[in-house]
Amino acid sequence: MLGEWRFPHAEQLLANAVTIAPAIDALKKRCRDVGVPVVYVNDNHGRWRSDFRKVVQDACDREGLGGQIGRLLVPHDNDYFVLKPKHSGFYATPLELLLRHLHVGNLILTGVSVEHCVTMTATDARMRDFKVWCPEDAVASQDLGLRDRTLAQLSETLQVCTDASTKLRLPDLG
């Protein structure tokens, strides 16, 4: 969500991403309130000398919808972050080590795009025996139909819970 938004179909995805940002922000706050760790997993945008703080600052400095999302979803000082080179948050990253260190067994995946990055991360998480939630109101795609089909597939094939974020019982996820 903290991105450059410079890729094919970015405008369509960005328009849908801005609609889920408030739900993600509310979910982050609920997680923090009950001690559930918040981990940002963000693209390095092909920059191999990336720094997460710079990624955040660039997102916040953007004009338009990308900047609006960046400013709303600014990480808290106690949040964790992982920069990823490809679609999955697990591929070539220390994410699994971080989650094991934090004694996390349940993941809530949010963001864009649900048919690419979120699905790849959910698949890799399930292969590592994590339980996964992808709240329908906290993931986006280029269009609503594609989002709904992807969520249905995640639910059916990977047993991913896709209930709205407001239905998640966070103390049970800790």
Residue 4 within any structural domain of the chain? no
Residue 65 within any structural domain of the chain? yes
Over residues 36-61, the mean pLDDT reads 91
Residue 3 within any structural domain of the chain? no
Q: Identity (one letter) of the amino acid at 50? A: S
How do residues 51-79 score in pLDDT, each as one tens digit? 899 999 999 999 999 999 999 999 999 99
Residue 150 within any structural domain of the chain? yes
Residue 12: is its pLDDT beyond 60?
Answer: yes
Residue 1 within any structural domain of the chain? no
Residue 24 within any structural domain of the chain? yes
Predicted TM-score (pTM) of this structure: 0.95
Tell me how far the alpha carbon of residue 111 is from its chain's centroid. Answer: 4
Question: Where do the H-state alpha helices sit in 73-160?
Answer: 95-101, 119-127, 144-158
For position 172, what pLDDT does the model report? 65
Range of lowest pLDDT (50-64, 84-98, 126-140): 50-64
Residue 19: is its pLDDT beyond 60?
Answer: yes
Q: Which CATH number belongs to the domain containing residue 104 in this structure?
A: 3.40.50.850
For position 173, what pLDDT does the model report? 60
Q: What are phi and psi of 16, to 5 degrees?
A: -80, -30
Over residues 38-46, the mean pLDDT reads 92
The structure tokens listed for 64 are 């338009």
Residue 82 within any structural domain of the chain? yes
Domain tally for the chain? 1
Q: Which residues of 121-147 are buried (b: 16+ CB within 10 A; e: fewer)?
A: bbbbbbeeebebbbbbbbbbbbeeeeb
Q: If pLDDT is split at 50, 70 and 90, which confidence band does 4 have?
A: confident
For position 13, what pLDDT does the model report? 96
Over residues 35-62, the mean pLDDT reads 91
165: burial class by Cβ within 10 Å (0-12, 13-18, 19+)? buried
Residue 108 within any structural domain of the chain? yes
Alpha-carbon distance of 65 to 5, in angstroms, equals 10
141 is in which domain, residue-wise?
10-173
Over residues 43-56, the mean pLDDT reads 87
